[in-house]
Amino acid sequence: MARTLLPIGIQSFEKIRREGYVYVDKTPFILDLVQRGSYYFLSRPRRFGKSLFVDTLDCAFSGKAYLFEGLALTKPDSIWDFTRTSPVLRIDFSGGTIRSADDLTGRLHRIIDLWEEEFNVKRTEGSPGERLVYLVPRIAEVTGKHVVILVDEYDKPILDNLEKPDLSLELRDLLRDFYGAIKPLDVHLRFVFLTGVSKFSKTGIFSGLNNLKDITLDRRYSSICGYTESDVREMFGSLMAAYDSDLVASWYNGYSWAGESVYNPFDILLFLDEGTIRPYWFETGTPGFLVKILAETPRSLPELDTLITGEELLGSFQIDDIKPETLLFQAGYLTIKDVTHIGEKAFYRLGFPNLEVKSAFSSLMLEVLTKNSGTSIIQRNLDRVMSTGDADNLREVFYSFFASIPHEWYRKNQLSGFEGYYASVVYAYFASLGYQVIAEDTTNRGRIDLTVITKNSIWVFEFKVQSSDGNKGKSPLAQIQEKRYAEKYRADGRPVVEVGVVFDPETRNIVSWETGR
């Protein structure tokens, strides 16, 4: 039987098609985009197939019909005309790192130099933007055709330097001037497509290119990058047959931009190659700047998994006012779970897309929240206790853990002072082990602070932080039982354990732990 060639890390459409790698057909989107308009912007997280889609666009506009045999663009009912070719200008910032304004200016000049050489036109002068304004009409004149501009990872120079705000702003302004030069070239352009991880506010990069249609949150294009469930079953069915498809989906599916959910292609391809559940995408690196932002402006992990926001938070990114939620969404650590409308305004419920991100991100946050070097030991003890359903031993695991955090850490770090700190630590430990963890779990009587579901048992948690005057009020366990939270899971068959926990901010530990069943 022929071996299935998996296109792991391959961003060349031509290589995939020439050498027989599996290709999930995204060409219907190309036809749709060209029919609907000319100027587009798409934001997607790293390693989601943006570069491959840009390269596919290049091949389509370059008239390489032989590469598209059997795909949507060459079907009898397709109106795509491969004889109508266009000169394609590609800008790709995915390779290399820009470390200064001179680096960026030099890179742009070299790109333009190559275009002038390729199309045999007279050398232009001035800034990169000025050169582009003069160059595109000349290329259109020489070739007698309208020009296509494709930009991949348009924002990478800025994102690589977020820890240097002054430099990031300088790079943003340079890129704004360059991209802004595209707008007055409309009469000479056939198609413009920009991709990146982030979308900057209207006062940022796109202020001079305000005719771009942003399709990031357009539900029709939710699966323009990534693999849908049907894609995986159709194209990789023989390989998937050896695995529990529901388990694989729970780990790698779940990314959504208000439409059909998708798998991260990098993840699922590596899983199919190695056959082991691992956080492949997450292991490729989490931006250090993200960790810094989360440490400086901490958010409750349970809150992040149930976040409600408007499009204004998701749709723009400002270097001098970075919102952690925006960064987490655009980087792929949060995704859209559902959309509701109140009048004309859309509201999005965000959450972790799948178990890979939830568990790996929680492990990362444990380091940020606690700086505790014994995390792996505690995780092993926690897993052992959860498998037995022993609530008293569970209390000892967490009590010992909080007691092990040095006083010096609390003195130097503000993280312990933010609301939700203790619940976030508990959440992070459970989620890091890959359990099904549900924050703000909805019942017909209210919301459970935290539900943890394992193979052997279901745990219902309610948390409280003791007030400074020592007033305890109603116990969290009493609230669980009064509102009958556990009833939601009684029919499951697994034992349900109710746990009410009170934390004391003075002793920085558990002051009360009550259990029921």
Q: What percent of the chain has pLDDT over 70?
A: 93
The tens digit of pLDDT for each residue in 394-409 reads: 999 898 888 887 776 7
pLDDT range class, residue 417, cuts 50, 70, 90 = low
What own/partner pairs with CB < 8 Å and gap ≥ 24 does 238-242 have? 238/4, 239/4, 239/272, 240/272, 242/275
Nearest to 73 by CA among 19, 10, 29, 20: 29
Q: What does the alpha-carbon distance between residue 380 and residue 384 come to, in Å, rounded to a whole number?
A: 6
Neighbours of 515 (CB within 10 A): 17
Structure confidence at residue 493 (pLDDT): 87
- Partnered with residue 39 across adjacent β-strands are 192
Average pLDDT, the chain: 89
Crossing angle for the helix pair 288-296 and 355-370, to the nearest 10 degrees: 60
Strand runs labelled E in 197-271: 213-214
**Average pLDDT, stretch 47-76?**
96
256, 360 Cβ separation under 8 angstroms = no
**Lowest-confidence segment of 204-213, 405-414, 475-484 by average pLDDT:** 405-414
| Predicted pLDDT of residue 364 | 85
> Lowest-confidence range among 198-207, 303-312, 470-479, 500-509?
198-207
pLDDT for residue 52 is more than 60: yes
How high is the pLDDT of residue 501? Answer: 93
238-260 pLDDT per residue, tens:
999 999 999 999 999 999 999 99
Q: Would you tell me how many other CB atoms lie within 10 Å of the CB of residue 456? A: 11
**How many CA atoms does the CB half-sphere of 317 hold within 13 Å?**
24
> Does pLDDT of 220 surpass 60?
yes
pLDDT for residue 195 is more than 70: yes
Cβ–Cβ < 8 Å for 404, 374: yes
CB within 8 Å of 82: residues ≥ 6 apart: 60, 63, 64, 65, 68, 73, 74
pLDDT band at 465 (very low <50, low <70, confident <90, very high): confident
260-263 long-range CB contacts below 8 Å, 24 or more apart?
A: 260/219, 260/222, 260/223, 260/228, 261/222, 261/228, 261/229, 261/353, 262/222, 262/223, 262/225, 262/226, 262/227, 262/228, 263/226, 263/227, 263/228, 263/229, 263/231, 263/232
- Is there a contact between 337 and 349 (Cβ–Cβ < 8 Å)? yes
Sequential DSSP letters for 227-242: B-HHHHHHHHHHHHTT
At 472, the pLDDT band (50, 70, 90 cuts) reads low
For position 345, what pLDDT does the model report? 86
Each residue of 145-189: pLDDT tens digit? 999 999 999 999 998 888 888 999 999 999 999 999 999 999 999
Residue 194: predicted pLDDT: 95
Tokens describing residue 408 = 């010096």
pLDDT, tens digit, for every residue of 82-139?
999 999 999 999 888 899 999 999 999 999 999 999 999 999 999 999 999 999 999 9
Which one-letter DSSP state was computed for residue 187? Answer: G
pLDDT at 468: 61
Please tell me the distance from the alpha carbon of residue 315 to that of residue 43, in angstroms, as a whole number: 9
Write out pLDDT tens, residues 317-364.
677 777 888 888 988 999 999 999 888 888 999 999 999 999 989 988
Look at residue 315 in the predicted model and tell me its pLDDT: 66
The predicted structure's pLDDT at residue 412: 65
Residue 107: per-residue pLDDT: 96
Q: What's the CA gap between 341 and 319, in Å, rounded?
A: 29
Instruction: Please give the average per-residue pLDDT across 286-302, as a whole number.
Output: 77
Q: 10 Å Cβ neighbour count for 219? A: 14
Average pLDDT value for residue range 389-394: 87
Is 60 exceeded by the pLDDT of residue 202? Answer: no
| Phi then psi dihedrals of residue 57, to 5 deg | -60, -45
Q: Distance between CA atoms of 278 and 271, rounded to whole angstroms?
A: 8
